[in-house]
Amino acid sequence: MARMTGKDMVIEALKREGIDLVFGFPGGAIIDVYDALEKDGNVKHVLVRHEQGAAHAADGYARATGKVGVCLVTSGPGATNTVTGIATASMDSVPIVVFTGQVPTSLIGNDAFQEVDIVGITRPCTKHNYLVRDVKDLPRILKEAFYIARSGRPGPVLVDLPKDVQNGKAEFEYPDEIGLRSYNPVTKPNAKQIERAFSLIRQAKRPIIYAGGGIIISGAHKELRAFAEAVNAPVTMTLMGLGGFPGTHRLSLGMLGMHGTYAANMAMANSDLIIAAGARFDDRVTGKIEAFVPKAKIIHLDIDPTSIQKNVRVDIPIVGDCKMALRGLLNIVEDEGRPAEDWIEQHQAWMQQIEAWKARHPLTYKKEPGVIKPQYVIERLYEMTKGRAIITTEVGQNQMWTAQFYKFDEPRTLLTSGGLGTMGYGFPAAIGAQMAFPDKLVIDVAGDGSIQMNIQEMATAMEQHLPVKIVILNNQFLGMVRQWQELFYGRRYAATKFEWNPDFVKLAEAYGAKGFRATIPEEVDDVLSRGLEAEGLVVMEFAIAPEEGVFPMVPAGKATTEMLLV
């Protein structure tokens, strides 16, 4: 065993965990770890322009790769600036490890310069966190942090490093395995529960598979597709589940819930069996809980037992990894040897009804001469990229139009803030994804409001030579809030109209990037083609219809069948 300083232990742990990229911003309380990072030279550091950007970039890296993302910041405001990013990762089950500097242990509690209780502050929004008080404990804590972040239902872990711990010395004994008595996530599902679930599936006439982000996290997309095709069951996805099942597949109903498709919401309401996989029945999906799926029995597959029975009654719970659970169901289908034609015949009337719902109210929008509709921009973006890009989004109307009109056929190609709804997430997340996949096309779809929340990260993208493309749907409004004000507050646009915005093209040029603008529909294709083909960082701004809404829409407190349509 080598005797080592705490700061060197951090770097050695990163290398042992396969971490070769860190996002961060230095300061006095973390300067020693930065010095060790620079001296070692084996872990690349990306200097962001705001600590929130570091947390979101680590998050985007983690979502795009499935690996743990890491960020490194100083104490006080450096640490508190990561809280939004930590909460974002927590809500969407993203594995990140956040290292924060801290004042020396002798000064903790004395209101020292740049001291905050970041462990206390982040306790509600981390999977676990640590204040390291003794350098002897650091190797174990580092191993535990990465293990907890990536195992079970993934999530963020914070490690707070006082300056004396960073500089103290101890034996570096890095554990090969971790055993925590109070933390033993169940991955293998109960075989009897799978058999019970299949007995319901065998009898169902109107089944629907409701797939969430857990499908993508567990890498279960192939099993999901095989199972859906084997039993001829339609699939609807949450926002976080998009890409977990091909959006262009004949069995896909697209997204469900508040801004879901008419067919998906009607199918859920009229189903006799819901097979929920890696989804948590959040309020944006269920709407009025008393009216949610009144005719259906529910099978719920999830690795997190606290998510089962939390919001809705479940008939058959299956705790475990989604991939293993779906493989178990698929094995029964294959062992049974029932002809595919039987499943097709059993669900034929159901599929015909679904096709009728699709035809009755497809996703659409009203075209107006001389006016750019945002849905058209997303449609053309999809067609030009052939669905092969990694798409990040900000939050608001831009996010929902992307979810509706861009078809995601592969997992980890949509990176978006679902549970927390964090404006300013998309661009730094795109930086993280582009760092992970330098040769892939990465596009951030943004609104003029949310892009300004972390627009300073254009400097980071330029410094790292990242060819991220930014599509700004500019309606001069905080669009989603404006839509609610239009529909439910008598068009009183309280604090949602931007009377002043920057010239985004000139702003791009000021950072050294390229900028293009379209103001009429005839310019959309030209701007998209020039922007997508240009080298380096590009901003493409589209002056869209100011009062365009996102539809369908389920008003708050209403059943998901009570949709406002175009």
Task: Please list the active-site residues.
Answer: 51, 113-114, 163, 480
CA atoms within 13 A on the CB side of 32: 21
Please choose, from the candidates 506, 517, 513, the residue with its C-alpha nearest in 3D space to the C-alpha of residue 535: 513
Looking at residue 497, what DSSP letter applies? B
Tokens of 485: 């004000």
CA distances, 28 to each of 107, 117, 307, 351, 403 (Å): 15, 17, 41, 62, 42
Q: Tell me the residue type at 194.
A: I
Helix (H) or strand (E) holding 210: strand 207-211
Tokens of 376: 């058209």
Cα 362 from Cα 250, distance rounded (Å): 14
Query: Listing from the earlier edge strand, what are the strands of the sheet with 128-131?
Result: 44-47, 21-25, 69-73, 96-102, 157-162, 128-131
Cα 300 from Cα 210, distance rounded (Å): 9
3-state helix, strand, coil in the chain (%, to 5): 45, 20, 40
Tokens of 560: 């998901």
Please choose, from the candidates 255, 187, 250, 259, the residue with its C-alpha nearest in 3D space to the C-alpha of residue 217: 187
Please choose, from the candidates 241, 244, 273, 243, the residue with its C-alpha nearest in 3D space to the C-alpha of residue 257: 241
Q: Is 481 exposed, middle or buried (0-12, 13-18, 19+ CB in 10 A)?
A: middle
- Residue 66's contacts (CB-CB under 8 Å, 6 or more residues apart) are 217, 219, 412
- Whether omega before 189 lies within 30 degrees of 0, making that bond cis, reads no
Sign of CA dihedral 151, 153, 154, 160: negative
CA angle, 161 as apex, 167 and 454 as ends, to 5°? 125
Please choose, from the candidates 310, 324, 234, 242, the residue with its C-alpha nearest in 3D space to the C-alpha of residue 270: 234
Please choose, from the candidates 329, 347, 353, 332, the residue with its C-alpha nearest in 3D space to the C-alpha of residue 262: 353
Backbone phi, psi, residue 214, to 5°? -60, -30
Cα 92 from Cα 87, distance rounded (Å): 9
Cα 552 from Cα 487, distance rounded (Å): 13
Question: E-strand spans in 406-450?
Answer: 414-415, 442-447
Tokens of 298: 């529910």
Sign of CA dihedral 369, 377, 397, 532: negative
Cα 315 from Cα 388, distance rounded (Å): 39
- Decide if 50 contacts 456 (C-beta within 8 A): yes
Q: Which residues pair with 23 in a beta bridge?
A: 46, 71
